[in-house]
Structures are given as structure tokens and as C-alpha cells.
Chains A and B, each alone.
Chain A
Amino acid sequence: MTGATEREVGRARLRKEDARLVTGQTTWTDNIQVTGLLHLAILRSPMAHARVDRVDVSPALERPGVVAAFSGRDLAEGLGSLPCAWPVTEDIVLPDHPPLAVDEVRYAGDPVAVVVARDRYAAADALEAIEVDYTPLPPVLDLEASLAEDAPLVHADKGTNRCYVWPLATGEDYASVKERADVVLKRRYLQQRLIPNAMEPRAVVVTPLPASGEYTVYSATQIPHILRIMLAMVTGVPEHKLRVIAPDVGGGFGSKLQVYGEEAIALTVARRLGRPVKWTESRSEGYLATHHGRGMIQDVEIAATREGKLLGLKVDLLADMGAYLMLVTPGVPILGAFMYPGIYKMDAYDFTCTGVFTTRTPTDAYRGAGRPEATYAIERIMDELAVELDLDPVELRRRNWIRHEEFPYPSVAGLTYDSGNYEAATDKALALFGYDDLRAEQQKRNERGDTVRLGIGVSTYTEMCGLAPSRVLGDLRYGAGGWEAASIRMLPTGKVEVVTGTSPHGQGHVTSWSQIAADVLGVSFDDVEVVHGDTKAAPQGMDTYGSRSLVVGGAAVHQAAVKVVAKARKVAAHLLEASEDDLEFAGGVFSVKGSPEARTTIQEIALATFSSHDLPDGMEPTINAEHVMDPENFSYPHGTHLCAVEVDTETGRTTIRSYVCVDDVGRVVNPLIVEGQVHGGIAQGIAQALYEEAVYDDEGNLVSGTMADYLVPSAVDLPDFVTDRTETPATSNPLGAKGVGEAGTIAATPAVVNAIVDALRPLGVTEVAMPCTPGRVWQALKEASA
């Protein structure tokens, strides 16, 4: 059973996860059935902003099947404010955030009351019996107007809608650098709000054990470990009495990196009633109640010489927090703060972010979280600068990017980019794309005055991922560390359990972690099982977000396996009566140098250690090991994405003709999984560029409030992607991996919009606001010709 000969890392292993997913044998949270299970339904504010004068839940109690009903005031005792773990400045405004509103509602969808009933239909029916009197208050929707002195306030007790101001000025003084510039360009870009749309709606099940005060919380979450800590703090249930399980979770994209009111409400109701409860959101409810992403106004100024050398960059952001600060709401733009300079060298960088409260659904992490916004801004303005200087956009980038021999490179924003090769990735992408031929075709068609224009978009990006060095997080005032834990249990029958603190929801950790462990231990891929997503079975973890799992969690698995081998070596030396130094270890076999017949396998050693009859003197009888990995640096994936679009100037319709990307995500554990992540990432990036927007009306109602009104792209809305890679290993972890979860999303949006603007530039268009719908494109053309 030992003796895997082919290296597992780098192999396109088919996923272990798939068997139950393709046969329907899943455990989504909503699938969980428990005897006596009660269903929760939540009454939500129909108004963006209102005083709650009266809530009467008693009529709901008369409805058939209803067991209980609670207003915010009813549950206030024992249900604290929802947490914000990232107060980015010392003087940040931190409003109270009750899971059920008590006196005031601050966005359409803010929870007001909860009904508990015997089935989901009865619970939903009873909501309409609840009586609520509201006094409407003015909505706060415009990011700039809301900062005026006399603006209506989201949180009147705070006296301002300004949540925080977070500055970063690095390198030389921007103002003086700007003085020596030949060219200064200033642009405003709008990052529309997006709705993450994981395919599995959120759900939570709580099963109480009243006698001992223990609770098991099943939740469709990315963060069972963090959730456990936070639920203990919000509800007062002691942490050691709480078990949180993330069963099969159907996607997250940041939307399940959250501690939601419904999770705290479900736990509190289960505690009050001593009975198991379930809450499952409907999709339309989720559009209001699950956090949104993006939502920023970006004012960007770039200073350069006539020769196209960048001198400095100034960025002023207004970031829409929404009505409350959720888990990392204020930190999302700060994750982007360090990435606006992108892959370029410059002398000065001046960044300020102002967080602003509005009466809309709170924002928080959505795939990329701050970094797509940053990449969009720099890559859009680089194209504008190229036009200003009459340079090819690739040439302008080439003149400014960090050359491969310059790594490790201290970025102007204060990061140390450890490795990369932008030249190699770009050259490969240009060749695959047929850049020169497309430019030639474009010129011909422009000269002909085609009604369907060809546009070419370039996006060269890097990102910081592998979140994160704990000390850096501390400097940024984040509330927790960035380490990840793994342990390896060598079972007596030769099987291996890898226990990980990451919590996958589609990423294939079971497969990839099996590959990593199998390689180090020299056991077969099929002999490894991976345990995750249960605070009882995998007690230590920091969970899954920010392209961190492989880089930090996978590296922890690697290091734990190295420790297992080191312990096993001691036992092997003892059993083979050799010194440790004389042992070789390959393919799971320890053998004595020079006498290969003297051998034993690591799995035989697992059994020998289990029986413990003959271990070295004083040795603890286990070869199990654990490792907690705290990375020294972030990792910096990079790549070049190229998009060719056909834009019909008569209809405004954009069609993606070809999409080529070359990403460098460091060493790859499973190329199949990496390719899948890139595809999905690009799809979401294209979706922001072309299709998606959370639209509010002047009253603060979410107009795009159902899946019928918000365009999640289908198979006909997306093209085939040509993907390739270069491989420059990361230096900050033993795998050399950089992370891939967000790369596509970060790179794709500017590639597409640059292509659209490039197509229309001969017609006078210099900007199309996202999403670049046919209507928006047509409008831009109309304005340009006016």
C-alpha cells in the first residue's frame, strides 16, 4: 500500500469531492432534518430607513403551526451586537448592530421580527400577521451628498455618516513628484455594487442539548471557526459549549465569510425554546440580507513623464459601507489600498479611503475584496495614459513594470513582492492571443468604418493573497491572526487523516491536501482522507477566504507531514537498528543506505507506534504531528489577461470574441483545479464588466431584487477562455504556491472594459460605466457624437 512513485503535487487528479456531488448524496445545511425541527422565518423592513414605533408579533401566534414569535425587543436580552473584526482606524465610527432591529431599521431587508413554526410554509405565512408601525426617515444613498454637514444620518447617535478616513502616503511626496510630471491624468471610476450569488442560499440549523447547555450550529459558512468565537461573544453561549459545523457548502465568494444576524438569531431562539431550529433564506431574501460587494467611487490621478515613466499615483476612495459594519466591512477597501500601484514602479503613492454609511445592505468581502477594484483603477488609467502618450498599452506597461531580475522588490505601497516574471507571462499571452494580428485587423476595420468595432483590452495584474502574516494584520488593526493549522493522524491500518483548519466550499481541498500529504508521506493518494469544517473534529482553524487556503493551510499540511516523517524516522532507525543519518526515505519507505533490504514503510511504523511495544527509549508513542503556519509574507500571483471584443455600434451590444490569460500562481498542486478556479474567476470578472449591478431606487429599495432582475451570466453569456500559466514559485511557503481563487476576477474586469473603450475610442468614447450593458454603450456613443 505504500510506494506512490509518481509525484502527486502537479498532477491533474480528479476530485474526491465529486462522487457525492454528482449523485445527489450531499449534506447542504438545508438538507439537515432533525426530529422536532422548527422553521424560522424573518420579517424584514420594507423601507430603507424608518423608526420602528411598534412591533406586535402576537397575531402571528394565532396562526396554525406557529410555536413562537419574537420582536427585536423580545430577543434583545442575550443577543448582542454583531461583530466588526476590522476597525481600521482608532477613531472609526462603530455603530451598534442588533441582529433584530429594535428602534430603527436602516436598510430595506433589515430584520424586524422572527416567527418559529412547524414547517417553512407556516412560518412564512405567519409573517404577514405581524404588525409593525414605521415612521419613515430619509434614505441616505449618495456617497458624496451623505458627507455634507446637513445630510440626514444613518446613525443619528454618531453625528456623521463618515465611518472612517484611512490614509496611506508612501514613497516620495506626491505633490512634489506631480510637479515634475509632464502628464497628469485624473479619472473617476465607479465600482458598482455586486451581489455575490453563491448558488447555495444561506441556511443555518441549530440543535440544542438543553440539559448541558450545548449547541451544535450547522451553517452554510466559509468560517466555522471564526463563527464559533463570534457567536459565543454575541449570544453569551460559552465557546466550549458551541460546536459549529460547515457541512457541504455551495460556494461562498466572500458572502459566507460573515457572522450573520440569522445565525445568532437561530442560536438564541433554539436556546430560548430548547428545540432545534432551521432558517433557510430564499434567493430574493438573500439579495437583501446577504452582504453585497464593491460599491466605491474611485478618484484616481496618475503622473508620468512624456517618455511614459510613471512618477506617482494618487487615489481617493469613497467606499459604501452600507448600513452597518459587518465582519470585515471597513477592511475591504484597505485590502485594495496596497494594490493600486499594481505591477509598476513609481516614486510616490498617496491613498485615502473614506468609509461612508448609507441606508443599503452592508457591503463586505466579495471575490477579490478590494483588489479587483484596485486593479480596475490602475489598469483603466494605464490605458488612458497610453492614449495620452500615443503608446501601445502593452508598451507603456512594459516600460514601467518590475523586471524579473529586480525581485524581491519593495513596492511603492510598502509590500515586498517576492517573485514574478511579468515579461514571461505577458509575452506568452500576447503570442497565444495573436496580439499583432488583431491590432492589424482592428486598424483595417476602423479605417473602413465598420459598424461592429473590434476592441482589444489588456490587464496586467498582481494581487496580495495568502492572508496573512499575523503581525501585518495586527498593524492593520485586524482582530485576528492569519495563521492556519493542520494535523496529521497516522492510523494503525496505514490510512492517514489530514485535519485542516481551512473550510472548503467548492475549492477541492480534500483532493489537493491529499496530494500534498501523499507526496511528503509517500503514501497513496487514496489512503488519505481530509477532515474539515467541524470545530469538534478540526478544532483549530482560520477558515477559507482571500486565496489563503493552499498558501497557508496547504503549507501547514505540508509542514505537519514533514514532522510526521521526522518522528517516523526515529522509530525506523530504532527498528532497523541504524542511525537516523544512515536512513533514506523515498516513496514511503525508510531504508538503510547501502543495505536496501533493511527497510520499513511509514505505514508499518504507524502500526508499530500504535502498538508501542518497541519504541526508542523515552519516545512519546505517536508519530502524529501538527503544524500551525504563520506566513512571513503575502504571496503575489500575477498574470496578463487579454480580451478581444466586438462592439456593435448600432445596438451597443458587446460580444467577447476571444479571451486569453496567462497566470502565474506559483507552483501548482492540481492543474485541473487551478484551471477551474481561473475559469470561474474570469466569469465573475466579466460579469462585473458586462452584466451585474445591484440597483437601488431613490427611496433606497433594491430594484434588482430577484434573480430575474439581476443578471448572473448563463452559459450563453460567457465565452470559452484560453488559459495558460507561467510558474515562478512563491518564496514565502514551502509549496511555492501563490493562490488562485481570486486571480481571474481581479484581472478580467479591466481587460473587458479596456477592450470596449478601445473599440469605441475612434468614435470619441473614453469611458463606459460598468456594467457595460448595450444601453450604456449606446448612451456613451450618443454622448460622444453629440
Chain B
Amino acid sequence: MTRISVKVDGTTYEDEVEPRLLLVHYLRDRLGLTGTPVGCDTSNCGACTVDLDGETVKSCSVLAVQADGSAVTTIQGLAQGGEWHPLQKAFHERHALQCGYCTPGMIMAARDLLRENPVPTPDEVRHALEGNLCRCTGYQNIVRAVLAASGQEVAS
């Protein structure tokens, strides 16, 4: 067992964990932060994407011990003062989700894109989200939502 201290969505947690415990299972099973789901076991789907010290990571591919001393932001920490993040609003307004299972990871990945590239082209959005799979939407409305969240005019 290894002692770790991780700040998740603004709250600091200290825990003893097995060195092999995945960050996503630490979030879900130990902290009860189930907003971040698991969609695969090969780091293909991106459903578990979170922010680790300003970088997006797939939390199924990071050990909890690697997050020791770090700050993690999940989908559950995005809304501020009861106000949704612009991407959360845009996903809702553009019907960019159906079952919603990929949505937390999709939003976290899109947030990273908009930090790096505040006014992306549709093609840049598609490439930035390549590591996040959605089975319901065919991606078109996700692309529209990300463009809308970046403040660009988007045909409905």
C-alpha cells in the first residue's frame, strides 16, 4: 500500500492505495466520483478522460499513485457556482449526446482542445477528439457543439 494525496475537483483526499490501482477506479470506487465512466480496457475509447495538472489523460491509463500530489479535474468539477461550463451548455443545446456515456470524456477532451486552440476549424475538432469514441451521435453534433462553445457561428 502506498499513501497518496490527490486533489480532485477542489477537495484533497489522502488514501492508502495498492500501487496497481488505476486512477479511474480510485475516482469511482474509492471516492465515489462516478461521473467518470470506463468504456474500454485498451485506452481507445476516452470515456474516462480527466484533467491531471492541466493535461488531459485517460484515467484508465494512469495509476492512482502517479496522481500523488496532483490536482485532478473531472466532469463533476466543471460547473462553477452552479453554472455549467460552456461545453456542457453547448453539448445540451446542440444535442451532442444521446446515451451520454462518452460525454464526460468528450467534454474533457474538447476542453483541452479549446485551451490550446480557442477557435478550431471543424477538421481540427475532429482530429482533437479522435481518441474519444461515441457510438450514438455520428459526431456531427459533437463537432457543432465544440465549435459553438468556442464562440463560432454554427449552422443548426
Q: How far is the CA of A716 from the CA of B125 in the complex (A)?
A: 9
Verify if A477 is at the interface (C-beta below 8 Å from B): no
Q: How far is the CA of A18 from the CA of B136 in the complex (A)?
A: 14
Q: In the bound complex, do residue A251 and residue B99 qualify as a contact, i.e. CB atoms below 8 Å apart?
A: yes
Q: In the bound complex, do residue B100 and residue A18 qualify as a contact, i.e. CB atoms below 8 Å apart?
A: yes
Size class of the contact patch on chain B: 35 or more
Verify if B6 is at the interface (C-beta below 8 Å from A): no
A639, chain B: closest CB distance, angstroms: 16
Q: How far is the CA of A707 from the CA of B131 in the complex (A)?
A: 12
Q: In the bound complex, do residue B37 and residue A21 qualify as a contact, i.e. CB atoms below 8 Å apart?
A: no
Closest B residue to A220 by beta carbon equals B101
B156, chain A: closest CB distance, angstroms: 9
Q: Are A707 and B38 CB-contacts (below 8 A) given A24-B74, A121-B18, A715-B126?
A: no
Closest B residue to A705 by beta carbon equals B42
Which of B21, B28, B39, B131 gathers the greatest number of chain A CB atoms within 10 Å? B39
Closest A residue to B76 by beta carbon equals A24
Verify if A305 is at the interface (C-beta below 8 Å from B): no
Closest B residue to A706 by beta carbon equals B42
Q: In the bound complex, do residue A24 and residue B75 qualify as a contact, i.e. CB atoms below 8 Å apart?
A: yes
Q: Are A18 and B104 CB-contacts (below 8 A) given A197-B135, A253-B135?
A: no
Q: Are A14 and B95 CB-contacts (below 8 A) given A28-B37, A121-B20, A676-B141?
A: yes
Interface size on A, residues (CB 8 A): 56
Verify if B152 is at the interface (C-beta below 8 Å from A): no
Q: In the bound complex, do residue A198 and residue B18 qualify as a contact, i.e. CB atoms below 8 Å apart?
A: no
Q: In the bound complex, do residue A708 and residue B42 qualify as a contact, i.e. CB atoms below 8 Å apart?
A: yes
Q: Are A199 and B101 CB-contacts (below 8 A) given A23-B88, A31-B34, A708-B42?
A: yes
B19, chain A: closest CB distance, angstroms: 12
Verify if A336 is at the interface (C-beta below 8 Å from B): no
- Chain A residues closer than 8 Å to B41, beta-carbon distance: 282-284, 706-707
Q: How far is the CA of A250 from the CA of B34 in the complex (A)?
A: 14
Scan A470-514; emit 1 where CB is below 8 A from any B CB, else 0.
000000000000000000000000000000000001111000000
Verify if B29 is at the interface (C-beta below 8 Å from A): yes
Q: Are A250 and B40 CB-contacts (below 8 A) given A14-B92, A508-B98?
A: no
Q: How far is the CA of A556 from the CA of B21 in the complex (A)?
A: 48
Q: In the bound complex, do residue B42 and residue A721 qualify as a contact, i.e. CB atoms below 8 Å apart?
A: no
Verify if B143 is at the interface (C-beta below 8 Å from A): yes
Closest B residue to A28 by beta carbon equals B37
- Chain A residues closer than 8 Å to B75, beta-carbon distance: 22-24
Q: In the bound complex, do residue B135 and residue A198 qualify as a contact, i.e. CB atoms below 8 Å apart?
A: yes
Q: In the bound complex, do residue A25 and residue B35 qualify as a contact, i.e. CB atoms below 8 Å apart?
A: yes
The one of A22, A31, A672, A680 that contacts B136, using a Cβ cutoff of 8 Å: A680
- Chain A residues closer than 8 Å to B143, beta-carbon distance: 715, 720
CB interface residues, A 666-693, toward B, < 8 Å: 672-673, 675-677, 679-684
The one of A249, A284, A718 that contacts B42, using a Cβ cutoff of 8 Å: A284
Verify if A403 is at the interface (C-beta below 8 Å from B): no
Verify if B93 is at the interface (C-beta below 8 Å from A): yes
Scan A496-536; emit 1 where CB is below 8 A from any B CB, else 0.
00000000011110000000000000000000000000000
Verify if A611 is at the interface (C-beta below 8 Å from B): no
Closest A residue to B129 by beta carbon equals A715
Q: In the bound complex, do residue B39 and residue A283 qualify as a contact, i.e. CB atoms below 8 Å apart?
A: yes
- Chain B residues closer than 8 Å to A676, beta-carbon distance: 95, 98, 136-137, 141
Q: In the bound complex, do residue B37 and residue A200 qualify as a contact, i.e. CB atoms below 8 Å apart?
A: yes
Q: How far is the CA of A249 from the CA of B135 in the complex (A)?
A: 13
Verify if A653 is at the interface (C-beta below 8 Å from B): no
Scan A711-739; emit 1 where CB is below 8 A from any B CB, else 0.
01011101011000000000000000000
Q: In the bound complex, do residue A680 and residue B137 qualify as a contact, i.e. CB atoms below 8 Å apart?
A: yes
The one of A17, A31, A33, A675 that contacts B100, using a Cβ cutoff of 8 Å: A17
- Chain A residues closer than 8 Å to B92, beta-carbon distance: 14-15, 18-19, 22
- Chain A residues closer than 8 Å to B121, beta-carbon distance: none
Q: In the bound complex, do residue A251 and residue B131 qualify as a contact, i.e. CB atoms below 8 Å apart?
A: no
CB interface residues, A 212-252, toward B, < 8 Å: 248-251
A724, chain B: closest CB distance, angstroms: 13
A195, chain B: closest CB distance, angstroms: 11
CB interface residues, B 121-138, toward A, < 8 Å: 122, 125-127, 129-138
Q: How far is the CA of A718 from the CA of B100 in the complex (A)?
A: 19
Q: How far is the CA of A706 from the CA of B44 in the complex (A)?
A: 9
Q: How far is the CA of A677 from the CA of B136 in the complex (A)?
A: 8
Verify if A330 is at the interface (C-beta below 8 Å from B): no
Verify if A110 is at the interface (C-beta below 8 Å from B): no
Q: Are A248 and B100 CB-contacts (below 8 A) given A22-B91, A23-B35, A720-B140?
A: yes
Q: Are A33 and B101 CB-contacts (below 8 A) given A14-B93, A721-B138?
A: no
Q: In the bound complex, do residue A251 and residue B135 qualify as a contact, i.e. CB atoms below 8 Å apart?
A: yes
The one of A23, A28, A508, A673 that contacts B101, using a Cβ cutoff of 8 Å: A28
- Chain A residues closer than 8 Å to B67, beta-carbon distance: none
Verify if A574 is at the interface (C-beta below 8 Å from B): no
Verify if B57 is at the interface (C-beta below 8 Å from A): no
Verify if B111 is at the interface (C-beta below 8 Å from A): no
Scan A2-44; emit 1 where CB is below 8 A from any B CB, else 0.
0000000000001101110111111010110100000000000
Verify if B97 is at the interface (C-beta below 8 Å from A): yes
B36, chain A: closest CB distance, angstroms: 7
Which of B18, B40, B84 gathers the greatest number of chain A CB atoms within 10 Å? B40
Scan B4-48; emit 1 where CB is below 8 A from any A CB, else 0.
000000000000001011000100110011111111111011010
Scan B93-112; emit 1 where CB is below 8 A from any A CB, else 0.
10101111111100100000
Q: What are some 18 contacts across the A-B interface (CB < 8 A)?
A: A18-B100, A21-B103, A22-B97, A23-B78, A25-B76, A28-B37, A30-B37, A197-B135, A199-B39, A199-B133, A250-B101, A251-B135, A283-B42, A676-B136, A706-B40, A707-B41, A708-B44, A721-B140
Contacts A506-B99, A676-B98 given; 18 further ones with Cβ under 8 A? A14-B93, A24-B104, A26-B34, A30-B37, A31-B28, A121-B21, A251-B98, A283-B39, A283-B40, A284-B42, A672-B95, A673-B95, A682-B138, A706-B40, A708-B44, A715-B125, A715-B132, A715-B143
What 6 A-B pairs are tightest by C-beta distance, nearest first?
Answer: A24-B35, A21-B100, A250-B101, A506-B99, A683-B138, A679-B138
